[in-house]
Structure 1
Amino acid sequence: MPGACYSLITMIKRAFLPLLLLTSGLASAADLTEAEIRWLTAGSAVLAYAKQELKLPLDITVQPQASATDVPLALGYQDGRCKLVLSLRGNPKAEDILSTVPIAQRSLMIEAMVAHEVGHCWRYAQGVWHALPAGFEERREPSRAAEELRDTRREEGYADLVALAWTQQRHPEQYASVAAWMQQVRQPSPATGSHSTLAWLQLAPTGAAFAAGVPVFEQANLLWRQGLARDQ
């Protein structure tokens, strides 16, 4: 329906233009595709929380065309700001990652993915990216590549726990579905892969694993430390 589409685009403009860094291929938020609107809408509660309540330095970039190596959603850090990059155009991975999810639940999984990326932003903004908490000693690795893989895996584990903690806080009745999907997504990774986070996901089989009454990032941190103890 044209009217409904216009209303949705207007909502996206109002909610995200302060965040959006439109690339040269996009003239305005009206140029967003239906898929981009759907993903931004699904993640809107997380993005609003990150920007308005946490005051995280977060910008959103919409790629006019994805490259062969782009994942649908990624986060980087540049000049003191987090860069959430949406790469959906011409990207089959955007469909593949949700292919096993019922249509009615896809927005929920996208929301979890956005929460995962905001978890990365939190770590960057706190100045603790690739840093261990106090009390942990860094183990030696045989090579620099092995160290980088280990460090990336730890950050992915933390971000996955943020996604689950967010889900437990906002959608507790859907926790089991999100946790099962995340385990499925991570399962194909080899045990030493950079996104092999099962050691952390297995610590949160139900939402009861997260401490009540504390912020999402602290909830994730408490379980993350348990996983790090196993990873030593």
Structure 2
Amino acid sequence: MIKRTLIPLLMLSCSSAFAAELTSMETRWLTAGLSVINYAKQELRLPVDITVQPQAHANDVPVALGYHDGRCKLVLSLRGNAHAEDILASVPQARRALMIEAMFAHEIAHCWRYAQGAWHQTPSGFAQGGTQPAQTLQQTRREEGFADLVALAWTQQRHPQHYADVAAWMRQGRAPAAAATNAAAAVDTHATMAWLQLAPTGAAFNSRLPLFDQAGSLWRQGLANGE
């Protein structure tokens, strides 16, 4: 089982299949995301469960969010996942926790949208067009755009002195690969640069608004621009 001392610290609700102790990487990631987890559970009262996979599957991202039976499932897939190392390879060791925290904020934004009953729903006044596959792609990309903006708003609120670092890292991760074709870019559900470019600095967010309203204001601006 997980070390008993980590249970109150990390407030984990792990799957019964996970019977080994946390690895040092899992502990680092969960500790980096702890403030986001606490915010989600204690302030937002979101129904969040955390699952640590004993072995990552092919194409698993390090941290992801699902929704089942009215609860958000925050899934860490770090064991045997080369992408977990690669995603932070360009970040100095001292700043990696900031990027991990931003990733957790991104996933909690998905949880909030699910809990609000707003998943894949667009505010009134913003039409969806095209075939059903095209609409689904657009809806998914819009959710990723919203979550990216929440991650940036969180960073501005909690770590304003490091906003530029986190924003630059996120833009780097979302930028189309130099060799990518236009066709590949067109089906990228994480092509969120149109929203990231709306927040080049933390000043783009209205600090007088609640966190999700800060992100939502810029998100709707992106929708108005045709995203």
- TM-score norm. by structure 2 comes to 0.92
Q: Which residue of 1 aligns with 2:148?
A: 160
Instruction: Give SS of 1:101's match.
Output: coil
From 108, 116, 119, give the equivalent of 1:129: 119
* Compared CA separation, residues 146 and 14, structure 1 to 2 (3 A): same
* Compared CA separation, residues 193 and 104, structure 1 to 2 (3 A): same
1:202 aligns with 2:190: no
Letter in 2 for 1:87: S
C-alpha separation in 2, matches of 1:212 and 1:107 = 23
1:9-158 aligned within 5 A: 12-17=6-11, 19-26=12-19, 31-138=21-128, 140-141=129-130, 143-158=131-146
C-alpha separation in 1, matches of 2:17 and 2:186 = 40
What are the Cα deviations for residues 115-150 of structure 1, in whole angstroms up to 9, with x where unaligned?
000000000000000001123222x11x32222111
Instruction: Give SS of 2:225's match.
Output: helix
* Compared CA separation, residues 148 and 25, structure 1 to 2 (3 A): same
- 1:231, CA displacement in angstroms? 2.0
Letter in 2 for 1:172: P
- TM-score norm. by structure 1 comes to 0.90
Instruction: Give SS of 2:173's match.
Output: helix
C-alpha separation in 1, matches of 2:224 and 2:200 = 18
What are the Cα deviations for residues 181-213 of structure 1, in whole angstroms up to 9, with x where unaligned?
000000036254110000000000000000012
Letter in 2 for 1:182: M
CA contact under 8 A between 1:39 and 1:107: conserved in structure 2? Answer: yes
What are the Cα deviations for residues 144-188 of structure 1, in whole angstroms up to 9, with x where unaligned?
222211111000000000000000000000000000000000003
Letter in 2 for 1:153: R
C-alpha separation in 2, matches of 1:95 and 1:101 = 10
Which of structure 1's runs of 4+ aligned residues deviate more than 6 A?
none
Q: Which residue of 1 aligns with 2:206?
A: 211
Instruction: Give SS of 1:211's match.
Output: coil
RMSD: 1.4
CA contact under 8 A between 1:23 and 1:61: conserved in structure 2? Answer: no
What residue ranges of structure 1 are gaps of 5+ in the alignment? 1-8
Instruction: Give SS of 1:64's match.
Output: coil
Percent identity, please: 63
CA contact under 8 A between 2:62 and 2:78: conserved in structure 1? Answer: yes
What residue ranges of structure 2 are gaps of 5+ in the alignment? 178-184
